[in-house]
Chain A
Amino acid sequence: MEHILQYFFTYKEAIFIIALSIFLGIEVISNVPAVLHTPLMSGANAISGVIIIGGIILVGHADLSKVSVDLLLGILALIFGTLNVVGGFAVTDRMLEMFKKKKTQKAS
């Protein structure tokens, strides 16, 4: 029990962020119309590519003096993370572009 409380104390800021983010995520999404479900999923998916920061830190401080499995896996993580981020945002934009086109046509 003491241990658990201690870990809670060590990570208190992070745990606060988690608790509040859960409600924030629910709140932000709850009123979304069905039309936007696919783009929203895709956009959220791109945000989950934030793991790329971890990849940058990993490769950034990796030992380059020898080629190791760790270094190669780190680079792989970075490449895959970037794929998720760039591809995710690009494809979301492409989907939403088509909705946008309708809007301007309607206005003209």
Chain B
Amino acid sequence: MNQILGIFDGVSVTLGDSLLELSYLISALLFVYGLKRLSNPATARNGNIWAAAGMLLAMITTALLHKNDAGHNIPISNLIIIILAISVGSVAGWIIARKVKMTAMPQLVSLYNATGGLASALVGLLEFPKAMAGNFGSLLVTVLGLLIGAVAFSGSMIAYGKLDGKVGDIRAGYMKYVNMLLIVATLAFGAWVTFNGGQPSEQMWAIWLLFGLAILYGVLFVMPIGGADMPVVISLLNALTGIAAAMAGFIYHNQAMILGGILVGAAGMILTMLMCKAMNRSLINVIIGAFGGGGAAADRDMGIMKEITVSDAAVLLNYSQKIVIIPGYGLAVAQAQHIAHELDNLLESRGVDVRYAIHPVAGRMPGHMNVLLAEADVPYEKLVEMDHINPDMPNVDVAIVIGANDVVNPAAYDDPSSPIYGMPIIDAHLAKNIIVMKRGAGKGYAGIENFLFFNDKTRMFYGNAKDSLQKLAAEIKNM
């Protein structure tokens, strides 16, 4: 059989080699098929499983069939270490994935992305001596994989810290010059390492320094970016991790890695673009321009915000025909999705039509709100996308804004100086009445004044979203 498979002159191909490559082909196809199914609500869960199956197949066949340059299979002793390491990673990954709260999902995706980036960077670091001995092409992909992986790692860690409230913003104007300088320096040094040549043992300091520079760049790259832009950044970093994995695929001439990595890279880039579009911002703007603050609103006479009492709000809601709930991250932070659903059930039982208007970038990640409300058992049909709810907004009796801010800010329409000018918003200001549930009178996460709060039709309901909703539900129950 081995002889039959040796079809190319001078190349000995064994059955194991062929099986390994065949398994990689199947894995690659499963990645594509899985991702395709993931992008449709009806087949998404199934698609995820197909992609996971592809990964498992590639892992098993690599462990059993991979040969090094000398033609040796992976020895049993090494296999045991591999199995142990994979077990540790699996158990930890599984436990974290099951335990974490749905509201913390964006952080978690960011954290996992960091681990993938770090793995890519480490592989680049370890393959460097061998790559130096090889040709220019292999050295280039090794250095690129290391650089991209390291940036994805540290950037994702900072993004994780920011979303988790552990890391603050640095919004100094000079940051963009520091960052530009640093990326130029890092790339130049990377080029020097690639072209310099020399003995691998003498160049190890250089590759470690490059690793350090890339880590530093990742940190400083994400530091100045405002919290409202974090979803875009996570998606971008996700794309980077994919590209880093593809670079490692080059090192090992592994087509499944190349295809999987580039597939994720391209998909991640498109997703990043879609998100930018939903926020009406360009990617360059997100990366360079620090978001938030400013706008003419600061010197404009805003009028005053008017408060509403629990009983007035309860009466207003109870005697309405049509209510639209506009949830934002404040709802997620307060874990108020369940009580929101309770309130909407209560109102439905009184004959009120209640729907949820979901802005594409509501929450900290696109689609995050849908996941949260699904967790609280809110029926899928009740969630209406922005473009479908807006034409009906003038017929809505009460729009309840829960912990959302920028996605309902009319400055997007009429204040060209506002940072969010031109961003599509949910037209809460067109509803007959507006109740805004908010923790306090301050500006929101992005630090932009919101004209909606000063609207004559708007009443403010201060307090933690969960407490406010609970009070409201209790009041309505007593009516």
Contact among A17, A36, A47, A94 with B41 in the assembled complex (CB-CB below 8 Å) = A36
B225-259 vs A, Cβ < 8 Å mask (1 yes, 0 no): 00000000011001001101110111111111111
Residues of A within 8 A of B210 (CB): none
Whether the Cβ atoms of A47 and B35 lie closer than 8 Å is: yes
By DSSP majority rule, is chain B's interface helix, strand, loop, or mixed? helix
Q: How far is the CB of B186 from chain A (nearest CB, A)?
A: 21
Whether the Cβ atoms of A59 and B78 lie closer than 8 Å is: yes
Given A50-B256, A56-B62, check contact A38 B371 (CB 8 Å): yes
Whether the Cβ atoms of A83 and B266 lie closer than 8 Å is: no
Stretch at the interface among B47-55, B172-180, B395-403: B47-55
Q: How far is the CB of A27 from chain B (nearest CB, A)?
A: 9
Bound-state CA distance A83–B32 (Å) is: 21
Residues of B within 8 A of A36 (CB): 38-41, 44, 367
A57-79 vs B, Cβ < 8 Å mask (1 yes, 0 no): 11111101000001001111111
Whether the Cβ atoms of A13 and B255 lie closer than 8 Å is: yes
Q: Is B34 an interface residue (CB 8 A)?
A: yes
A26-54 vs B, Cβ < 8 Å mask (1 yes, 0 no): 10111111111111111111111111111
A-B interface contact total, Cβ < 8 Å:
376
Residues of B within 8 A of A51 (CB): 116, 119-120, 123, 149, 244-245, 248, 257, 261
Contact among B100, B102, B115, B377 with A81 in the assembled complex (CB-CB below 8 Å) = B115
Residues of A within 8 A of B36 (CB): 28
Residues of A within 8 A of B368 (CB): 38
Contact among B35, B48, B59, B358 with A56 in the assembled complex (CB-CB below 8 Å) = B59
Q: How far is the CB of B274 from chain A (nearest CB, A)?
A: 8
Given A24-B263, A38-B368, A49-B116, check contact A43 B59 (CB 8 Å): no
Q: Is B181 an interface residue (CB 8 A)?
A: no
Whether the Cβ atoms of A47 and B260 lie closer than 8 Å is: yes
Bound-state CA distance A105–B374 (Å) is: 12
Bound-state CA distance A23–B266 (Å) is: 8
- Chain B residue at minimal CB-CB distance from A44: B264
Contact-residue size bin, chain B (C-beta under 8 Å from the other chain): 35 or more
Residues of B within 8 A of A86 (CB): 89-90, 93-94, 97
Residues of A within 8 A of B267 (CB): 25-26, 28-29, 40, 44
Q: How far is the CB of B192 from chain A (nearest CB, A)?
A: 18
Stretch at the interface among B2-10, B79-87, B339-347, B428-436: B79-87
Given A50-B261, A84-B113, check contact A78 B66 (CB 8 Å): no
Whether the Cβ atoms of A14 and B380 lie closer than 8 Å is: no
Q: How far is the CB of B248 from chain A (nearest CB, A)?
A: 4
Whether the Cβ atoms of A46 and B58 lie closer than 8 Å is: no
Whether the Cβ atoms of A34 and B360 lie closer than 8 Å is: yes
Contact among B96, B265, B266 with A87 in the assembled complex (CB-CB below 8 Å) = B96
Whether the Cβ atoms of B251 and A54 lie closer than 8 Å is: yes
- Chain B residue at minimal CB-CB distance from A21: B262
Whether the Cβ atoms of A60 and B271 lie closer than 8 Å is: no
Given A46-B55, A48-B116, A80-B89, check contact A14 B264 (CB 8 Å): no
Bound-state CA distance A98–B101 (Å) is: 13
Question: In chain B, residues 413-458, which have Cβ atoms closer than 8 Å to a Cβ of chain A?
Answer: none
Stretch at the interface among B104-112, B213-221, B307-315, B470-478: B104-112
Residues of A within 8 A of B66 (CB): 56-57, 60
B378-400 vs A, Cβ < 8 Å mask (1 yes, 0 no): 01110101000000000000000
Whether the Cβ atoms of B257 and A53 lie closer than 8 Å is: yes
Given A10-B137, A82-B90, check contact A48 B245 (CB 8 Å): yes
Given A17-B255, A103-B380, check contact A81 B45 (CB 8 Å): no
Whether the Cβ atoms of A77 and B136 lie closer than 8 Å is: no
Residues of B within 8 A of A32 (CB): 39-40, 271
Given A38-B109, A53-B257, check contact A84 B380 (CB 8 Å): no
Whether the Cβ atoms of B51 and A37 lie closer than 8 Å is: no
Bound-state CA distance A100–B377 (Å) is: 11
- Chain B residue at minimal CB-CB distance from A100: B45
Residues of A within 8 A of B291 (CB): none
Bound-state CA distance A39–B118 (Å) is: 22
Contact among A44, A90, A96 with B98 in the assembled complex (CB-CB below 8 Å) = A90
Whether the Cβ atoms of A28 and B255 lie closer than 8 Å is: no
Given contacts A41-B365, A87-B96, 18 further A-B contacts (CB under 8 A): A24-B263, A25-B262, A26-B266, A38-B109, A41-B109, A42-B112, A43-B38, A44-B238, A47-B34, A48-B260, A50-B261, A56-B74, A77-B123, A78-B86, A83-B93, A84-B93, A84-B113, A89-B51
Q: Could you give 25 example pairs across A and B, Cβ below 8 Å?
A: A11-B137, A17-B262, A22-B262, A28-B32, A33-B41, A36-B41, A37-B274, A38-B109, A47-B34, A48-B113, A48-B116, A48-B245, A48-B260, A52-B119, A58-B123, A59-B82, A60-B63, A64-B77, A78-B119, A82-B89, A83-B92, A86-B90, A87-B96, A95-B105, A106-B381
7 A-B pairs with the lowest CB-CB distances in the bound complex, closest first: A82-B89, A25-B266, A87-B93, A37-B366, A60-B74, A90-B97, A84-B116
